A and B are shown apart, each in its own frame.
Chain A
Amino acid sequence: MIEFFNVLLVIFLILSALAVERTKDLLSAVIIFGAYSFMMAVVWLLLRSPDVALTEAAIGAGVTTLLFVGLVSRTRRWE
Protein backbone atom coordinates (compact mmCIF):
# COMPACT_ATOMS: atom_id res chain seq x y z
CA MET A 1 0.00 0.00 0.00
CA ILE A 2 2.71 2.46 0.97
CA GLU A 3 4.71 1.57 -2.15
CA PHE A 4 1.67 2.31 -4.31
CA PHE A 5 1.31 5.69 -2.59
CA ASN A 6 5.00 6.37 -3.17
CA VAL A 7 4.73 5.59 -6.88
CA LEU A 8 1.65 7.82 -7.12
CA LEU A 9 3.51 10.69 -5.49
CA VAL A 10 6.53 10.33 -7.80
CA ILE A 11 4.27 10.23 -10.88
CA PHE A 12 2.55 13.40 -9.64
CA LEU A 13 5.96 15.02 -9.10
CA ILE A 14 7.06 14.24 -12.68
CA LEU A 15 3.76 15.44 -14.14
CA SER A 16 3.81 18.71 -12.19
CA ALA A 17 7.44 19.33 -13.13
CA LEU A 18 6.51 18.89 -16.80
CA ALA A 19 3.45 21.12 -16.31
CA VAL A 20 5.58 23.94 -14.86
CA GLU A 21 7.70 23.87 -17.98
CA ARG A 22 4.75 23.71 -20.40
CA THR A 23 2.51 26.36 -18.81
CA LYS A 24 2.46 29.72 -20.59
CA ASP A 25 0.76 31.57 -17.70
CA LEU A 26 3.59 32.28 -15.27
CA LEU A 27 1.30 32.78 -12.25
CA SER A 28 -0.23 29.33 -12.84
CA ALA A 29 3.27 27.89 -13.18
CA VAL A 30 4.19 29.36 -9.79
CA ILE A 31 1.15 27.77 -8.14
CA ILE A 32 1.91 24.40 -9.78
CA PHE A 33 5.45 24.73 -8.46
CA GLY A 34 4.00 25.25 -4.97
CA ALA A 35 2.02 22.00 -5.34
CA TYR A 36 5.23 20.29 -6.47
CA SER A 37 6.96 21.50 -3.30
CA PHE A 38 4.15 20.20 -1.08
CA MET A 39 4.30 16.76 -2.71
CA MET A 40 8.07 16.81 -2.31
CA ALA A 41 7.56 17.52 1.40
CA VAL A 42 5.31 14.44 1.67
CA VAL A 43 7.94 12.36 -0.13
CA TRP A 44 10.58 13.56 2.36
CA LEU A 45 8.24 12.58 5.19
CA LEU A 46 7.82 9.10 3.73
CA LEU A 47 11.61 8.85 3.49
CA ARG A 48 11.69 9.43 7.28
CA SER A 49 13.35 12.81 7.32
CA PRO A 50 10.80 15.11 8.99
CA ASP A 51 13.38 17.86 9.42
CA VAL A 52 13.90 18.20 5.68
CA ALA A 53 10.13 17.90 5.13
CA LEU A 54 9.44 20.82 7.48
CA THR A 55 12.08 22.96 5.81
CA GLU A 56 10.80 22.02 2.34
CA ALA A 57 7.24 22.97 3.29
CA ALA A 58 8.37 26.31 4.75
CA ILE A 59 11.00 27.28 2.16
CA GLY A 60 9.89 25.49 -1.00
CA ALA A 61 6.16 26.01 -0.74
CA GLY A 62 6.17 29.24 1.27
CA VAL A 63 9.10 31.53 0.59
CA THR A 64 9.83 30.45 -2.98
CA THR A 65 6.19 30.71 -4.07
CA LEU A 66 5.76 34.15 -2.50
CA LEU A 67 9.06 35.39 -4.00
CA PHE A 68 7.94 34.19 -7.44
CA VAL A 69 4.54 35.86 -6.99
CA GLY A 70 6.35 39.11 -6.17
CA LEU A 71 8.57 38.61 -9.22
CA VAL A 72 5.58 38.05 -11.53
CA SER A 73 3.89 41.15 -10.12
CA ARG A 74 6.99 43.20 -11.08
CA THR A 75 7.28 41.75 -14.61
CA ARG A 76 4.94 40.33 -17.25
CA ARG A 77 2.46 37.58 -16.42
CA TRP A 78 2.48 35.80 -19.79
CA GLU A 79 5.49 34.09 -21.24
Chain B
Amino acid sequence: MNDIIVKTVTRIMVPFIQMYGIFVILNGHISPGGGFAGGALIGVSLILYTLVFGVGAAEKKFSHRLGDLSESGGILIYLVIGSVGIVSGGYFLTNLDAGFLKGEAGALLSGGMIPLLMVAIGIKVTSTIITLFHAMIEEDPS
Protein backbone atom coordinates (compact mmCIF):
# COMPACT_ATOMS: atom_id res chain seq x y z
CA MET B 1 0.00 0.00 0.00
CA ASN B 2 1.59 3.26 -1.14
CA ASP B 3 -0.64 5.81 0.52
CA ILE B 4 1.00 8.54 2.60
CA ILE B 5 -2.06 8.93 4.86
CA VAL B 6 -2.32 5.23 5.64
CA LYS B 7 1.42 4.98 6.29
CA THR B 8 1.53 7.99 8.60
CA VAL B 9 -1.56 6.97 10.58
CA THR B 10 -0.18 3.45 10.97
CA ARG B 11 3.19 4.72 12.13
CA ILE B 12 1.47 6.87 14.79
CA MET B 13 -1.14 4.32 15.90
CA VAL B 14 0.90 1.10 16.22
CA PRO B 15 2.77 2.09 19.45
CA PHE B 16 -0.48 3.09 21.13
CA ILE B 17 -2.17 -0.19 20.20
CA GLN B 18 0.79 -2.12 21.56
CA MET B 19 0.82 -0.02 24.74
CA TYR B 20 -2.88 -0.79 25.27
CA GLY B 21 -2.20 -4.48 24.68
CA ILE B 22 0.54 -4.49 27.33
CA PHE B 23 -1.83 -2.64 29.70
CA VAL B 24 -4.55 -5.25 29.19
CA ILE B 25 -2.07 -8.10 29.77
CA LEU B 26 -0.57 -6.62 32.95
CA ASN B 27 -4.01 -5.76 34.40
CA GLY B 28 -5.44 -9.15 33.45
CA HIS B 29 -6.07 -10.28 37.01
CA ILE B 30 -7.83 -7.14 38.31
CA SER B 31 -9.80 -5.91 35.29
CA PRO B 32 -11.55 -7.32 32.19
CA GLY B 33 -9.28 -8.79 29.59
CA GLY B 34 -6.17 -10.83 30.15
CA GLY B 35 -3.45 -12.62 28.28
CA PHE B 36 -5.60 -13.70 25.35
CA ALA B 37 -7.24 -10.33 24.60
CA GLY B 38 -4.02 -8.35 25.15
CA GLY B 39 -1.95 -10.75 23.06
CA ALA B 40 -4.52 -10.48 20.29
CA LEU B 41 -4.26 -6.66 20.42
CA ILE B 42 -0.47 -6.75 20.02
CA GLY B 43 -0.82 -9.32 17.24
CA VAL B 44 -3.33 -7.10 15.43
CA SER B 45 -0.91 -4.15 15.59
CA LEU B 46 1.81 -6.27 13.95
CA ILE B 47 -0.66 -7.51 11.31
CA LEU B 48 -1.55 -3.87 10.55
CA TYR B 49 2.16 -3.10 10.16
CA THR B 50 2.52 -6.06 7.79
CA LEU B 51 -0.44 -4.97 5.65
CA VAL B 52 0.80 -1.40 5.28
CA PHE B 53 4.59 -1.78 4.99
CA GLY B 54 4.79 -5.23 3.41
CA VAL B 55 6.06 -8.61 4.54
CA GLY B 56 9.72 -7.70 4.06
CA ALA B 57 9.63 -4.82 6.54
CA ALA B 58 7.61 -6.86 9.01
CA GLU B 59 10.12 -9.71 8.83
CA LYS B 60 12.77 -7.32 10.12
CA LYS B 61 10.59 -6.40 13.10
CA PHE B 62 9.30 -9.88 13.91
CA SER B 63 11.34 -12.61 12.23
CA HIS B 64 10.53 -16.30 11.87
CA ARG B 65 13.17 -17.19 14.44
CA LEU B 66 11.70 -14.76 16.99
CA GLY B 67 8.25 -16.21 16.28
CA ASP B 68 9.48 -19.77 16.91
CA LEU B 69 11.32 -18.74 20.08
CA SER B 70 8.43 -16.78 21.60
CA GLU B 71 5.81 -19.35 20.64
CA SER B 72 7.77 -22.15 22.33
CA GLY B 73 9.00 -19.90 25.13
CA GLY B 74 5.54 -18.68 26.17
CA ILE B 75 4.16 -22.15 26.73
CA LEU B 76 7.42 -23.22 28.43
CA ILE B 77 7.13 -20.33 30.91
CA TYR B 78 3.55 -21.39 31.60
CA LEU B 79 4.57 -25.02 32.19
CA VAL B 80 7.51 -24.07 34.44
CA ILE B 81 5.32 -21.80 36.58
CA GLY B 82 2.66 -24.50 36.76
CA SER B 83 5.22 -27.13 37.74
CA VAL B 84 6.27 -25.11 40.78
CA GLY B 85 3.04 -26.30 42.38
CA ILE B 86 3.98 -29.96 41.80
CA VAL B 87 7.54 -29.44 43.10
CA SER B 88 6.25 -27.81 46.29
CA GLY B 89 3.97 -30.74 47.00
CA GLY B 90 0.62 -29.58 45.60
CA TYR B 91 -1.22 -29.92 42.31
CA PHE B 92 -0.37 -28.45 38.90
CA LEU B 93 -0.92 -24.63 39.01
CA THR B 94 -1.11 -24.48 42.82
CA ASN B 95 -1.11 -20.77 43.53
CA LEU B 96 -0.67 -19.40 47.05
CA ASP B 97 0.13 -22.66 48.84
CA ALA B 98 3.19 -23.07 46.62
CA GLY B 99 4.83 -19.96 48.05
CA PHE B 100 3.78 -17.27 45.56
CA LEU B 101 3.36 -13.85 47.14
CA LYS B 102 -0.23 -12.90 47.80
CA GLY B 103 0.20 -9.13 47.64
CA GLU B 104 -2.52 -6.62 48.36
CA ALA B 105 -5.93 -7.43 46.90
CA GLY B 106 -6.77 -5.09 44.01
CA ALA B 107 -3.20 -3.87 43.54
CA LEU B 108 -1.18 -4.51 40.40
CA LEU B 109 1.18 -6.89 42.19
CA SER B 110 -1.32 -9.37 43.61
CA GLY B 111 -2.84 -12.72 42.87
CA GLY B 112 0.29 -14.83 43.24
CA MET B 113 1.36 -16.29 39.91
CA ILE B 114 -1.61 -15.10 37.83
CA PRO B 115 0.20 -12.03 36.36
CA LEU B 116 3.14 -14.23 35.33
CA LEU B 117 0.76 -16.65 33.62
CA MET B 118 -0.91 -13.71 31.85
CA VAL B 119 2.45 -12.56 30.48
CA ALA B 120 3.21 -16.09 29.25
CA ILE B 121 -0.18 -16.41 27.54
CA GLY B 122 0.24 -12.96 25.99
CA ILE B 123 3.60 -13.89 24.42
CA LYS B 124 2.16 -17.14 23.10
CA VAL B 125 -0.99 -15.59 21.59
CA THR B 126 0.93 -12.71 19.98
CA SER B 127 3.40 -14.97 18.21
CA THR B 128 0.68 -17.41 17.17
CA ILE B 129 -1.45 -14.73 15.53
CA ILE B 130 1.42 -13.04 13.72
CA THR B 131 2.87 -16.38 12.57
CA LEU B 132 -0.55 -17.43 11.26
CA PHE B 133 -0.87 -14.24 9.22
CA HIS B 134 2.69 -14.36 7.86
CA ALA B 135 2.27 -18.00 6.83
CA MET B 136 -0.90 -17.14 4.91
CA ILE B 137 0.52 -14.02 3.23
CA GLU B 138 3.86 -15.52 2.20
CA GLU B 139 2.43 -18.55 0.43
CA ASP B 140 3.01 -18.54 -3.33
CA PRO B 141 -0.15 -17.96 -5.40
CA SER B 142 -1.11 -21.03 -7.40
| CB < 8 Å A-B pair total | 46
Report the Cα distance A70→B50, complex, angstroms. Answer: 11
- Most-contacted residue by chain B among A55, A58, A69, A70 (CB, 10 A): A58
With A51-B33, A67-B132, A70-B133 in contact, do A58 and B139 touch (Cβ < 8 Å)? no
Report the Cα distance A1→B40, complex, angstroms. Answer: 34
For chain B, the count of residues having a C-beta within 8 Å of the partner chain is: 20
| B69 close to chain A: CB less than 8 A | no
| A74 close to chain B: CB less than 8 A | yes
Chain B residue nearest to A50 (CB atoms) is B32
Report the Cα distance A51→B136, complex, angstroms. Answer: 29
Which residues of B have CB within 8 Å of A70?
Answer: 51, 133, 136-137
Q: Do B32 and A54 have beta carbons less than 8 Å apart?
A: yes
Which residues of A have CB within 8 Å of B132?
Answer: 67
Q: Do A62 and B44 have beta carbons less than 8 Å apart?
A: yes
Give chain B's interface secondary structure class: helix
Chain A residue nearest to B28 (CB atoms) is A51
Q: Do B139 and A74 have beta carbons less than 8 Å apart?
A: yes
Residues of B within 8 A of A (CB): 24, 32-34, 36-37, 40-41, 43-44, 47-48, 51, 129, 132-133, 136-137, 139, 141
Some 15 contacts from A to B, beta carbons below 8 A apart, are A51-B32, A51-B34, A55-B36, A55-B40, A58-B37, A58-B41, A59-B37, A62-B40, A63-B43, A63-B129, A67-B133, A70-B133, A71-B136, A74-B137, A74-B139
Contacts A54-B37, A58-B37, A58-B40 known; 7 new A-B pairs at CB < 8 A: A51-B37, A53-B32, A59-B40, A62-B40, A66-B47, A70-B136, A74-B141
